[in-house]
Chains A and B, each alone.
Chain A
């Protein structure tokens, strides 16, 4: 596992343990290299001093020409005066849609997080007791891990997100992981927004276990029930794909899905 990946996991664990506040990376000279804001155990926003892309550029690119730089700068000033989060303000005014805003926030946050993960200095936690963020504009561990991956290979994450969404049924979770190689980690997910880091790791480790069981007979795919959950796993393009389902019919449903995915 790379040091960069370790750094991202460290941040996600710290956020999960401490709930709401700011994780600041402090340089030896006392200056801040950047910070990650967290709310209710989820990542909201991150900023690093060394970051190239500015949030405003991402917002303008995602606004589909509904917003000029001048309008955006006015909004930034208004938010400073009113102490309001910029994203939520832009949403209220209809200047961006929620999906574009989430994409811009996630990309900016993941870029900052990677920058900060590569810094060699101490983390400091500052508790926050103010009003919370709009939960739909905060990010789960699965969002952050796949967002970090998308910075390296955006086409792969986009392609797999599209494939997963086309294959899963309502109420199912699914993700794609690379166990080794340069793309190691979570590539894409759908339906895993409510999972904490430990729960996500538990599911991934079960899925890997099932994949290993199938390898005993050279299986192209496998479905199994562990406890209350049914898992379908298969290898595709060198990556491990997983769908998880949870009701009485989950096993037979996943069997049908697997057979249609691997004809």
Chain B
């Protein structure tokens, strides 16, 4: 399911909630403006694989040449996680609070 969050100009390119138990994407939203992230599915499934393994971290930040990835396992339901991908130039403080906001917004 793809559904834009009610956000005029999000700081991210892709936001999603994933199920770690079932290994699937539950909700996702892409930025309406700006560059679209290529291979969204592979990014999301890489995040699922990373977070569902035994002893996996509960919060992850990855820095690539052009992007930053933030993944967080829900403290309330460890079978769910929020994924946020944003341009590398993004304000990090804003992204971290956006991660929490998106997690709340996507919460079942």
Contact = CB atoms under 8 A, between A and B. Distances in A.
Interface of A: 210, 213-214, 216-226, 234, 251-252, 254-256, 258-259, 262
Query: For chain B, what secondary structure do more than half of its interface residues adopt (helix, strand, loop), or is it mixed?
Result: mixed
B28 interface: no
28 contacts: A213-B50, A213-B60, A214-B62, A217-B46, A217-B69, A218-B64, A218-B65, A219-B63, A219-B69, A220-B64, A220-B65, A221-B62, A221-B63, A222-B62, A222-B63, A223-B60, A223-B61, A224-B59, A224-B61, A225-B58, A226-B57, A226-B58, A234-B63, A251-B59, A252-B92, A252-B93, A256-B92, A258-B63
Contacts, number: 57
A216 B55 contact: no
A255 B96 contact: yes
B96 A216 contact: no
Query: For chain A, what secondary structure do more than half of its interface residues adopt (helix, strand, loop), or is it mixed?
Result: mixed
Given A223-B60, A234-B63, 20 more contacts: A213-B50, A213-B57, A217-B43, A218-B64, A219-B64, A219-B69, A220-B63, A221-B62, A224-B59, A225-B57, A225-B58, A225-B59, A226-B58, A251-B59, A252-B92, A252-B93, A255-B61, A258-B61, A258-B63, A259-B63
A229 to B, nearest CB: 10
A232 to B, nearest CB: 9
B41 interface: no
A258 B64 CA distance: 11
Interface of B: 43, 46, 49-50, 55, 57-65, 69, 92-93, 96
B46 A222 contact: no
Contacts of B59: 224-225, 251
B36 to A, nearest CB: 17
A226 B51 CA distance: 11
B102 to A, nearest CB: 16
Contact of A251 (B46, B61, B64, B69): B61
Given A217-B43, A256-B92, A222 B60 contact: yes
A252 B92 CA distance: 8
Contacts of A256: 92
Contact of B60 (A224, A234, A252, A262): A224
